[in-house]
Chain A
């Protein structure tokens, strides 16, 4: 018994020390390769594209229940609402389509992107509100409600399109590095990093909850959660995961979460958009 336990403890130590160090300077391409390799080794039976299904790629019983839910998607009404909002004329007569001319062919897979003009990381939600303000409308509140509905509509139009986030220059790489640092940094009273739960211990249970791999986490957002009783954005989820470790969450769509989304989404490059999704 004793020997077995120390063997388990030793195995855990090894798995932690094998984890790639956050401080090492590496190009985004190198990071991406290492990230994919890590999850491929950890979950050899999960095909690359199946990572978009989060915990359901790991737990066949939960997957069955979830597939039943997806047959009558709880977010369908949100896609409809988002579509209406997207095509409803502003007071000036224009619609959101004027800001997103390519929306029909699917645009979500290209977000977030580094805007070389402003030097900022632009997320889809940020641009939805920028579009409203540019047209003399009030911005939507972040997190849930109409912003999530519009985002769900645009995600839906991108289904099957592969995530293609780019890091075009040094300034963009600086934002990427900020996001990467955020992801690997311990925080909160409980001293936990995103990577602790979603890289090193992905596939383990925290209480009864299975921890999803970080690879593929962003593909199905915005997400309908039964816990929320509705749809929420990725930044709402970031905020929840920060509170969970008793850290003060950052403002949604502030520079910290946008940088995090930039890194986090880049790590899922090549995976197809399957949003909006449904989760527990």
Chain B
């Protein structure tokens, strides 16, 4: 079972990289674009045909390694 995972900084955590990217976007003249936040994207496969159990294992990977819950949050979506 295949999942995609997004890891992003929590709202209250400053994202200086996102800010720098936003500055460059503004320099391109794309003045309607704002509030850029940078994050991470993962895909992974879980060798378990039970969707609930597979999702739980993906969650565990997020909580234990892929995201640092002090500063980040994650979302999981089944894609195959």
Partners in one complex: no
